[in-house]
Amino acid sequence: MGLVEFIEGPAFWFALAVFVAGALWRFVGIIRIGHKPDLAPPKGSAGWGWIRGNLRHFFPRGLFAERTWMHVLGGYAFHLGLFAVMFFAAPHVDFIRERLIGVGWPALPRWGFIIAAEIAFAGLIVLWVRRFSDPVMRLISDWDDHVGSWLTFLVMLTGCLALERAHVSLRALHMGLVELWLIYFPFSRLMHAFTFMLSRGATGASYGRKGMTL
């Protein structure tokens, strides 16, 4: 088995297993810490609050967005672009259909992919630049933030470099980085892709109980 076959075969399955098991373990672990039942008579529904909290925090509040619009824009650009690229790039859809679950969905046309990737890159770079040039960000950032950003950037970059789909080695490079990313994911702050639900939900539920419609 050559290096390329290894990267695209067993290594990928291993990385995927680490990702799924690790992320599940951590997610469930947080929930399992649990909390005591709330005895104060509620004014509203905690369940609805949970959902509302999750939805509400998808959108910034105008008052604050005025001050940090560049950051807000960068954040949206990166996340939306990455989402589109990750799940709707034609090679990804093919990969998911052929290697993972057997069903696919319509993929982005090439120009759509390019636009999504451009937007994602622009956003990621803006976020990263802010991280090292803003005094607040420099104070609160740790190595995990930087490793996560760089790893994601490299995954995206190698993916785009392999866009010609003419060289197996470029694809393998991309795959190799994806595997690193998958393994790193459950142990890092990248987990926010799942834990955001829990934190938003917790706040939303407590607000919901108090009958607040934020």
Partner 1 sequence: MLRQWMAGLTFALSVMLSAAFSVAPMVAPAQEANAPGSEAEAPATAPATDKPRPGTLEDILRRQQGLKLDPERLLRRPAPPAPIPLPPQLGTLGRQSDADLWRALKSGAYARPSSDTASGKLMQTAGEEWRRLRREVILKYAPWLPAGVLGLLVLFYLIRGRIRIRGGRSGRTIPRFSMSHRIAHWFLASVFILMAISGLMILIGRPVLLPLLGHEVHSVLLSAALQGHNLFGPVFILALLIAIVRFMRGNFFQWADVKWILRGGGMLGVHAPAHHYNFGEKTWYWIVVFVGLGMAATGLLLEFPWLVETLLYHQLATILHALGAVVMIAVALGHIYIGSIGMEGALDSMLKGEVDENWAREHHDLWYEQVTGKKAVHGGGGDDTPPPAAAAEQT
Partner 2 sequence: MSETADTVIRTMLDQTDGDIAAYLEACVHCGECAEACHFYLATQDPKYTPTYKLMPLVKAYKRHKAPLRSVKGMLGLLPAEVSEEELREWESLVYDSCTMCGRCTLVCPMGLDIAGTIRKMREGYSAAGIVPDGLRTARENVVKTGSPMGVTAKALKAQIARQEKETGLEIPLDKQGAEYLALFSSMEVMGYPEVIGAYARIFARAGIDWTISTEAYEATNIGVQIGDGPLARKLVARIVDAARKLGVRHVISPECGHAYGAIRWAGPNMLGETFPFEVIHIIELLDRLRAEGRLEIGEKDARRITLHDPCQIVRRGGLLKEPRRLLDDACADFVEMKGSGVTNLCCGGGGGVSANPRAEELKTQAFSCKKAQLDAIDGLKAVVVPCANCRGVFEDGLDALGGDYEVIGLSELVADTLKD
- C-alpha to C-alpha distance for 160 and 55, rounded to whole angstroms: 32
Cα 209 to Cα 50: distance, rounded to the nearest angstrom: 10
Position 162 contacts partner 1 (CB under 8 A): yes
39 binds partner 2 (CB under 8 A): yes
Is residue 186 within 8 Å of residue 23, measured between CB atoms? yes
Please identify which residue in 43, 110, 165, 167 interacts with partner 2, judged by CB under 8 A: 43
Task: Select 54 or 158, whichever has its Cβ closest to partner 2.
Answer: 54
Residues 6+ apart with CB under 8 A from 118: 81
The b-or-e profile of 24-44 (16+ CB within 10 A means b, else e) is eeebeeeeeeeeeeeeeeeeb
Q: CA torsion sign, 64 to 65 to 67 to 72?
A: positive
Could you say which residues in the range 169-208 bind partner 1, by CB under 8 A? 169-170
Task: Give the x-and-dash track for 178-197 against partner 2 (CB under 8 A).
Answer: --------xx-x-xx--xx-
Task: Enumerate residues 6+ apart whose C-beta is below 8 A from 46.
Answer: 38, 205, 206, 208, 209
Q: Minimal distance in Å, beta carbon 186 to partner 1? A: 29
Token pair belonging to 63: 């008052």
147 interacts with partner 1 by CB under 8 A? no
Nearer to partner 2, 57 or 92 (CB): 57
Sign of CA dihedral 10, 16, 18, 20: negative
Q: Which does 118 bind (CB under 5 to 8 A by kind): partner 2, partner 1, none?
A: partner 1
Q: Is 30 in the site for partner 2 (CB under 8 A)?
A: yes
Query: Is the CB of 16 or the CB of 199 nearer to partner 2?
Result: 199
> Which positions touch partner 2 (CB under 8 A)?
22, 25-26, 28-36, 38-41, 43, 53-54, 56-57, 60-61, 63-64, 67-68, 71, 75, 130-131, 134-142, 145, 186-187, 189, 191-192, 195-196, 198-204, 206-207, 209-212, 214
